[in-house]
Amino acid sequence: MLLIPDSVVRFFHRMASPPHFYAFTERLMPWLVIIFLFLTGAGLYGGLYLAPPDYQQGDSYRIIYIHVPSAWMSLFIYVVMAVAGAIGLVWRIKLAEIVAISSAPVGASFTFIALVTGSLWGKPMWGTWWVWDARLTSELILLFLYLGVIGLYGAIDDKRVASKAVAILAIVGVVNIPIIHYSVEWWNTLHQGPTVSKLDKPSIHVSMLIPLLLMALAFNVYYLIALIQRARVELLQRERNSQWVKTMVMENKQ
C-alpha cells in the first residue's frame, strides 16, 4: 500500500462503491464503444484486405483474426474471473463478486466462438470438423468449466452465497487448468502422434501480425464493454432496495 499513490487508491475505493461505479461507467461507455469500433474496423481491414494470402492456406487462414483472439480471451477471462472472485472472497467487495460472475457468460461465449471457428477452419484444412487435438480438447473442457460456473451461480438462490461458491469454484478451476491442459497434451501425443499438429507456429509476417494484435485489443475492449453492461444490470438487480437505485429510477421517470 505504501508504494501506491494516494490518488490511485482513492480511485479504486470509489470504484468499489456501487453508485459511483454505475455513474462512472455510464460516462465511460460511449468512449469504449468508439475505441472498440475503431480497433475492430482497423483490425478487420488490415486482416481481411491488406494482409496477403498465406502461401499454403490461401485465404482461409484469415479466420485467425477471430479465432486466435477469442481463444486468448477465453483463457484470460477465466483468470480475471478467478482473481476477481478471490478479491471478493477476501475483502468482501461486492463489485468484485459482480465482476467475477459477469465475466463467466462472456468467457463462455469466447470459448464457444473459438471452438466453432476452429472447427470451421478445420473442415477445409484437416478435412474434418473435429479432431481430438490437445488444444481443441482442452478448450472444450474449458467450456465445461465455464458452464459449471454459470450453472452453479444459477442454482443457488441467494446471490451473495452464489458469488462465494462461484469464486471458490473459479479458484479451484484456475489451479486445475494447467494440469488439465498438460495432461491432455500428453495424452494426445501418446495416442496419435503429430499427425494433426501440422500447424506448428510458422513465424508470422508483420503484415499479418499487426491486424491480429489489433483484433486482440478490440476483443479486450469488447470484453470490457460486455462486462460493464452485465455488471450494471446485475448491480441494479442486487441493489434494487437501496436508496440510490430508488432515487435514480424516480429521477428518470420525470
Q: Which of 63, 164, 220, 236 binds another protein (CB under 8 A)?
A: 164
The residue (of 15 and 174) whose beta carbon lies closer to another protein is 174
Please report whether residue 173 would count as binding another protein according to CB under 8 A.
yes
**Minimum distance from CB of 95 to another protein (Å)?**
19
The residue (of 179 and 250) whose beta carbon lies closer to another protein is 179
Q: Which of 44, 168, 174, 224 binds another protein (CB under 8 A)?
A: 168
| CB-based contacts of 197, cutoff 8 Å, min separation 6 | 133, 134
Q: What are phi and psi of 129, to 5 degrees?
A: -70, -35
x-marked contacts with another protein along 69-98 as a string, rule CB under 8 A: --------------------x---------
Q: Helices 206-238 & 18-45, crossing angle to 10 degrees? A: 160
x-marked contacts with another protein along 179-198 as a string, rule CB under 8 A: xx--xx-xx--x--------
| CB-based contacts of 219, cutoff 8 Å, min separation 6 | 69, 70, 72, 73, 110
**Minimum distance from CB of 163 to another protein (Å)?**
10
Q: How large is the greatest C-alpha to C-alpha distance in the chain, in angstroms?
A: 68
Nearest to residue 96, comparing CAs of 170, 32, 40, 41? 170
Please report whether residue 128 would count as binding another protein according to CB under 8 A.
no
Q: Are 78 and 107 in contact (CB under 8 A)?
A: yes
Region near another protein per CB under 8 A, out of 17-25, 73-81, 96-104, 141-149? 141-149
CA distance 250 to 102: 26
What residues form DSSP beta bridges with 58?
54
The grid coordinates listed for 185 are 497434451
Q: Which of 44, 63, 171, 174 binds another protein (CB under 8 A)?
A: 171
Residues of this chain that bind another protein (CB under 8 A) = 89, 141, 144-145, 147-148, 151-152, 155-156, 161, 164-165, 168-169, 171-173, 175-176, 179-180, 183-184, 186-187, 190
